Amino acid sequence: MESSASGDGSSAADAATAAAAASSSSGPSTSAPAFSAGGVAGPSATHYLAKRVLHGSAVQHVARGRFRSEHLWEIVLCKETSLELVVVGEDGVLQSICEQSTFGIIKDVGVLDWRFKQFGIWPEIEGKEILVLLSDSGKLSLLYFSCQMHRFIAIENIELSKPGNMRDQLGRILAIDHDSAWVAISAYEDAFAFVHVGKSPHVYGPNREIVERANIMHVVYKTSDIRGTVWSMCFMRTRCSMDEYYPVVAMIINRKGSDVNELSVYALAANDGGIQHLSSFSEPGPLALDISEIPQLDGFALLFRAGDILFVDLREPKDICCTIRISITGSLIGGQISVEDSCRGLDVDDDVAACALLELRDSGNNIMMDDNYMAIDGVDNAGSMKSRIICSWSWEPDAVRGRPRLIFCLDDGEFHTLEFNWDIEGVKVLPERVHRGLPCRPLLWMNRGMIAGFVEMGDGMILQLEHGRLVHKSAVQNVGPILDLAIADYHGEKQDQMFSCCGMCPEGSLRVIRNGINVEKLLRTEPIYQGVTGLWTLRMKRTDTYHSFVILAFVEETRVLSVGLSFNDISDAVGFQPDVCTLACGLIADGLLVQIHSKGVKLCLPTTYAHPEGAPLTSPVSVVWYPDVTISVGAVGQNMVAVATSNPCCLYILRVRSLSSFQYELYETQHVQLQYEVSCISIPEEDSKLRTVSSAVGGGDVRKRKGNNLAAKVDVRMFAVIGTHKPSVEVVSLEPEEAFRLLSIGSMSVNNAFGAPISGCIPENVRFVASERFYILAGLRNGMLLRFESDTSKDHYFPGSFYKDSFTPCVNTPLQLIAIRHIGITPVGLVALRDSANADIIVLSDRSWLLHASRHSLAYSSISFLPASHVTPVSSVDCPSGLLFVAENCLHLVEMVHGKRLNAQKFSIGGTPRKVLYHSDSRTLLVMRTGLTGASCSSDIVQIDPNNGILLSRFKCEPGETARCIQIAKIGSEQVLIVGTSKSNDHPMMPNGEAESIKGRLIVLSLDTLGSPRESSSFIPTSNLSSSSHTGSFPEIVGYATEELSSNSMCSSPDDVCYNQIQLEQMTGHLRSLTHVTFAGAVLAVYPYLDRYVLAAAGNTLCVFGFVNENPHRMKKYAVSRTRFTITCLKTYASRIAVGDCRDGLLFYSYNESLRKLELIYADPAQRLVGDVALLNCETAVVSDRCGSISVLSCPRLEVSESPEKNLAVHCSFFMGEIAMSIQKAAFRYRLPIDNETDPVLESAYNCVVASTMLGSVFVLIPLTSEEHYLLQDVQERLSVHQLTAPLLGNDHAEFRRRGIPSGVPSILDGDMLVQFLELTSEQQQTVLDAAPSGKGPPRSISIFQVMRTLERVHYALN
């Protein structure tokens, strides 16, 4: 039964909250009538948008470089269809900088170091290294990181081959020479090329205008005479004359028909520009797998083979010799690897060769996929190899001169280092074993001795080399592959969470994934804080590391709490007036606090009772300044206070001076009468303009990057940002001699496309932000967020009017409206995460968002937390990065791990979790596991508490039996779990799709005795806070109970308790078997049907079972039908049955109860290797295949008379580039808070599809109306060719998303391409819409408002 998680209709946040997926306590609904024809997602809804809501986390390639600045080291993680730029902190924690889709499949990666070449000819890339990528586009892509756009942008896509994804076309492996001038590229076989790359400067005209922009120069030299498969290659520095042969490449080649690999040397002949083969070398022994030149030892290379490493001398490329052999065979535990001075021949092991070939397979390229495409569905552990293989290696980046060091990882998880010492006696090799863990691929040696290792089907790790041993620093979370998922409501938080089966044995785990940015919930009070109007935290001194006070303002009350182990009410000791509503407060000078309320401004010096560094007096010192009229808003800066009144509209500046010990005076320096009332004031910290501008412009060297000198920075005027009822945003000077001089102004037009009334356009909050360039944020009362910028000269960070020595009028430096977004319908609040002008900002409205300050335009992510009215950062010894939210009349203390890559909680579960179901009645999970190492069973079904990972009950399969599928069903009034098994651990089908002769069982388990989660797994307040505003203490608060299973997030300790330490005696019960049936084939799919039957697929046989008198103990077979190939998945909707097999694709069946017969109704028009299927209604299904595509198929009509061979229509398809293993139907609200509830275009509930992939991605398919589809299709075509948003790797976007799709089938819209529109400025958005797609005539007029509203609706729903 489908359930919706929509709450009270009056809540705007509830209206946009995602609902639960289509699984619940009674299993999928099969008794509902057919989908209403009036629904948007009915048979007529053939338009969809596919959006990736979670990028893949499986890392295939990694590169290290200085991409943002010459002073910063970063790492690029290549995840096949996306790029992620990360940094590693000193604590070893990986923090994400940005992540973007590539709209192509990455094959290999490298880095060009052009930092010190030709200064001044290309300012955009000066001081930065260039990322080089090979992909399925057939192009060599050169990318640089744009600090302004906060993403990688292609500066050149050099075409090598077209289309670029065939076996004999260039684009498989690349290598870059030491001087970053040459790139070597190979195909899978036969083809090879040298590419000479460089850059040319801008060409200027007589008036210094740019006539011709700088560009990349390149020359490509190709050959097709390799006659074999290139496994690996590297550039070599040899003794060959550059006038004869240059450059020179050594490569490992498997010649056609040969059982061994050879080392061959190729070079570019200087005389004719041809690629020549210089020599070959083949040493008897194991299979050669990889080669690498040794840094600092010119002409020497390491040849990695199965079981050993050869030290090869290639200084004379026509006379190759091997001088040292390093053996890595046998167990290395307790011993060192052996080094021999000469190479002895070893017998070639055919098993090793086969395993090595398997290691070479590229999961990202379909033409090299294993013939047994169902391998992920079968055996959990491959057989161990006889000879150990080096699966990854990396060189030390800053090795001691003459002593290069290599770290490598073996396929059994052992890590070793090799140090090469060159002296007059020759080369000495010093081996050392430094670690044993999981095998990593790839591996990267970073600075400060840190090593990053990435596990293929488990979490990676950051290690540090200390005293000859690798020490674990942190984990790098990897949720790929996601083998199954279940979606359910996150109880108490009006949002969804996804439970996913991730990884494989021995790294299998259950992950709880939530959208948005994760916050760790630490404390929560009882709901006694009604009517909070303001929340702030203050330090006693500006240099203090931690906050000292929490100020809570109510409608007619103010309270001050201390920050520490206990939050105590210290209002009397601080001196704030308690019987007023505080409008603003702050630290005006060290030890002096200021409270602003409607009747005056109060200066307070707290006592030692409130703070150890307070005044040693019995009562606090206080001074009050009273205006003649009521104060409406105010702000506190360093040594100044700014307040505004409403009638008359005046602005006052107050300052403080010391009269004597503990005596101060608060006095007015200036005031001015304004034309419009002030709605909000923000004063940047005095040093924020200086300290943060330095870091904002990249690396701290402002003089070099911006041309600013120190005097220019110091001479910036003190200023404030104000919002007015005009409405406008204004920057005014606060300098004593020229207070209130208008420096810049940004106006908001009331008659805008959004049709907002003037009262809604009034700024509620404004904030100055110092990023790559300065800008002003304005949050309006109508829920809109605006970004204003001003043009500056190339030598200055600020406009001219901001400098003291400038008298530029404000009309010459206007604030331009750059971007505008709808956040919600309630007034927008802006709160910085820390006291810095370049800090990220929490944006509050109907929901909480984190705005990324350094990003282009307005880029923000949802925070995985309740809608909150107020928030403030709070830092203490116990919680240095805390946030205090006010939500649901409670105070919530949480901690946000800034830069955390995944919002996922991990339960290490043991074995391989293959299926997961959410049981809503007990709020627990049912998980099917395989690959267990215990002696009693290798597969089981367990019940788990999702709050803490506790095992509640378990069912063990028989010895040698493997569970293959599970589903919840309801028989009469009893809930049961249907389990399908096979009597073997082997693959259940042959490579040709036919079923293996393996027996299986259909088992019925009772769910009536399921245990419930422990009550301690939720927040339980233990005391109440007195309503008194002056006495009492902050309430004691209890957080989550200690987790008994490993519940690591990315930064978890390696000492976390794991599943293997849980005793089974802790379980409260066992899942009880009611009955079972034995089949001649493995039961790979089961599903309930019409609330009284169960469908089971064993091999190619589909069976219908019923229960006599609704008795789950008495199961009876009613009907049988057979397909040509093995059935892999089953889904039902009402009377419709969808069957997916591994060759014939999707088949629709119905069951005739009177005749007890299964009838084939519709069939797939093409062969399809089905991954999974979801039925949207009786006529429409969404199906994924094992080639990376997802399609929507439906029946053209209900009554069909012709043969059912080809009568399913493919309405639309989408190439994801990733294999979707699980598809779930879901429903959620697809509406903005500003949308009209009665809008006929906006249905309250949409049928959507959630798909998870092998790489760890999650896609969501959203149905669109025809009007929305045609609008966004036009926008997508324009975005796909625009310079800033075109596919990064040079792919033709339409061709990429239609790959493998039959001609004439419409494509599903690409949400990843479309959401880039939201990241552009208003001017850039208009440029995109004004551009005409090539060959389509004049562009039709498109409204920005129309596009923004549609895309914001998608963005709001998916976040």
Give per-residue pLDDT as tens, 487-514: 876 544 445 688 999 988 888 899 988 8
The per-residue pLDDT for 1209 is: 87
- Three-state DSSP at 1326 gives helix
* Span of 10-24, 202-216, 678-692 with lowest mean pLDDT: 10-24
Residue 1202 — φ and ψ, nearest 5°?
-75, 175
Give per-residue pLDDT as tens, 300-317: 999 999 888 999 999 888
The per-residue pLDDT for 686 is: 58
CA distances from 1236 to 45, 601, 1233, 1242 (A): 22, 43, 8, 8
- Three-state DSSP at 738 gives helix
CA distances from 1132 to 963, 1085, 1112, 1173 (A): 21, 12, 20, 10
What is the pLDDT confidence band of residue 1281, given thresholds at 50, 70 and 90?
A: very high
The per-residue pLDDT for 205 is: 76
The per-residue pLDDT for 230 is: 92
More confident of the two residues 953 and 1062: 953
pLDDT higher than threshold 70 for residue 1148? yes
Give per-residue pLDDT as tens, 1193-1223: 988 764 544 555 668 888 899 999 999 989 9
More confident of the two residues 971 and 10: 971
Percent over 90 (pLDDT), the chain: 34
Determine which helix (DSSP H) or strand (DSSP E) holds 1344, and give its type and residue range.
helix 1344-1358
Average pLDDT score over the chain: 79
Query: Which residue, 912, 1070, 1074, is CA-closest to 978?
Result: 1074
The per-residue pLDDT for 395 is: 94
Query: Which residue, 1055, 1182, 1346, 1338, is CA-closest to 41?
Result: 1182
pLDDT higher than threshold 50 for residue 30? no
- Three-state DSSP at 312 gives strand
Give per-residue pLDDT as tens, 703-728: 333 333 333 344 666 888 999 998 99
C-alpha 1316/C-alpha 506 separation (Å) is 39
Give per-residue pLDDT as tens, 140-199: 999 999 888 889 999 999 999 887 667 888 889 999 999 899 999 999 888 899 999 988
The per-residue pLDDT for 917 is: 93
Give per-residue pLDDT as tens, 1320-1356: 888 889 899 988 776 666 677 888 888 988 888 887 7
Give per-residue pLDDT as tens, 641-694: 999 998 888 999 999 988 888 888 888 888 888 888 999 999 887 544 444 444
Determine which helix (DSSP H) or strand (DSSP E) holds 876, and give its type and residue range.
none
C-alpha 1034/C-alpha 73 separation (Å) is 44
Give per-residue pLDDT as tens, 882-891: 899 999 888 8
Q: CA 298, 299, 305, 309 torsion: positive or negative?
A: negative
Chain mean position to CA 1197: 41
The per-residue pLDDT for 532 is: 93
In the structure encoding, which two tokens stand for residue 497, read together? 């969470």
| Amino acid residing at 875 | S
CA atoms within 13 A on the CB side of 973: 0
In the structure encoding, which two tokens stand for residue 150, read together? 């906060």
Read out DSSP for 526-563?
-S--TTEEEEEEE-SSTT-SS--EEEEEETTEEEEEE-
More confident of the two residues 1131 and 270: 1131
pLDDT higher than threshold 90 for residue 972? no
Q: Is 1174 in contact with 1131 (CB distance < 8 Å)?
A: yes
What is the pLDDT confidence band of residue 224, given thresholds at 50, 70 and 90?
A: confident
Q: CA 153, 155, 161, 167 torsion: positive or negative?
A: negative
The per-residue pLDDT for 1353 is: 81
pLDDT higher than threshold 80 for residue 364? no
The DSSP code for 983 is: S
Count of residues for the chain? 1359
Q: Is 1193 in contact with 1211 (CB distance < 8 Å)?
A: yes
Q: Is 225 in contact with 253 (CB distance < 8 Å)?
A: no
| Amino acid residing at 1166 | A
What is the pLDDT confidence band of residue 1112, given thresholds at 50, 70 and 90?
A: confident
C-alpha 1191/C-alpha 1193 separation (Å) is 6
Q: Is 838 in contact with 854 (CB distance < 8 Å)?
A: yes
Percent over 70 (pLDDT), the chain: 78
In angstroms, what is the C-alpha Rg of the chain?
Answer: 33
Beta bridge partners of 285: none
The per-residue pLDDT for 803 is: 61
Mean pLDDT, range 918-934, rounded to an integer = 88
Read out DSSP for 954-977?
EEEPPTT-EEEEEEEEEETTEEEE
Give per-residue pLDDT as tens, 723-739: 999 899 998 888 777 76
Q: Is 547 in contact with 527 (CB distance < 8 Å)?
A: no
What is the pLDDT confidence band of residue 1167, given thresholds at 50, 70 and 90?
A: confident
The per-residue pLDDT for 1041 is: 27
Give per-residue pLDDT as tens, 79-129: 999 999 999 988 888 888 889 999 999 999 999 998 877 666 677 788 889
Pairing of strands 1069-1070, 951-956: parallel
The DSSP code for 1306 is: P
C-alpha 1106/C-alpha 1114 separation (Å) is 8
Mean pLDDT, range 1048-1073, rounded to an integer = 45
In the structure encoding, which two tokens stand for residue 703, read together? 């003089």
C-alpha 101/C-alpha 50 separation (Å) is 13
pLDDT higher than threshold 70 for residue 377? no
The per-residue pLDDT for 66 is: 92
pLDDT higher than threshold 90 for residue 1253? yes
End-to-end alpha carbon distance in the chain? 25
What is the pLDDT confidence band of residue 702, given thresholds at 50, 70 and 90?
A: very low
**Contacts with 1321 (C-beta within 8 Å, 6 or more apart), sequence order:** 818, 819, 856, 857
Angle between the 1344-1358 and 1322-1330 helix axes, to the nearest 10 degrees?
120
C-alpha 293/C-alpha 312 separation (Å) is 9
The pTM (predicted TM-score) of the whole model is 0.83
The per-residue pLDDT for 1191 is: 93
pLDDT higher than threshold 90 for residue 538? yes
Read out DSSP for 1025-1078?
--S-SSSSBPPP---PPPPSS----TT--TT---GGGS-GGG--EEPEEEEEEE
The DSSP code for 802 is: G
In the structure encoding, which two tokens stand for residue 659, read together? 């009269």
Residue 1305 — φ and ψ, nearest 5°?
-85, 125
**Contacts with 878 (C-beta within 8 Å, 6 or more apart), sequence order:** 565
C-alpha 1128/C-alpha 511 separation (Å) is 24
The DSSP code for 716 is: B
Mean pLDDT, range 224-231, rounded to an integer = 88
What is the pLDDT confidence band of residue 69, given thresholds at 50, 70 and 90?
A: confident
More confident of the two residues 1060 and 511: 511
Mean pLDDT, range 951-962, rounded to an integer = 89
CA atoms within 13 A on the CB side of 417: 24
Q: Is 1349 in contact with 1342 (CB distance < 8 Å)?
A: no
The per-residue pLDDT for 1032 is: 35
C-alpha 363/C-alpha 70 separation (Å) is 34
CA distances from 121 to 116, 179, 211, 312 (A): 12, 18, 14, 41
CA distances from 334 to 330, 331, 428, 432 (A): 12, 9, 22, 11
The per-residue pLDDT for 767 is: 92
pLDDT higher than threshold 60 for residue 41? no
The per-residue pLDDT for 805 is: 58
More confident of the two residues 486 and 739: 486
**Contacts with 288 (C-beta within 8 Å, 6 or more apart), sequence order:** 231, 252, 260, 261, 262, 263, 303, 304, 305
Considering only the C-alpha atoms of the chain, give the largest distance between any 2 of them, rounded to a whole number of Å.
102
What is the pLDDT confidence band of residue 1241, given thresholds at 50, 70 and 90?
A: very low
Sheet containing 338-340: order of strands: 288-293, 300-305, 308-313, 321-327, 338-340
262 burial level (CB within 10 Å; 0-12, 13-18, 19+): middle
C-alpha 471/C-alpha 1090 separation (Å) is 56
pLDDT higher than threshold 50 for residue 33? no
Residue 850 — φ and ψ, nearest 5°?
-110, 115
Q: CA 911, 914, 915, 918 torsion: positive or negative?
A: positive
What is the pLDDT confidence band of residue 899, given thresholds at 50, 70 and 90?
A: low
The per-residue pLDDT for 744 is: 85
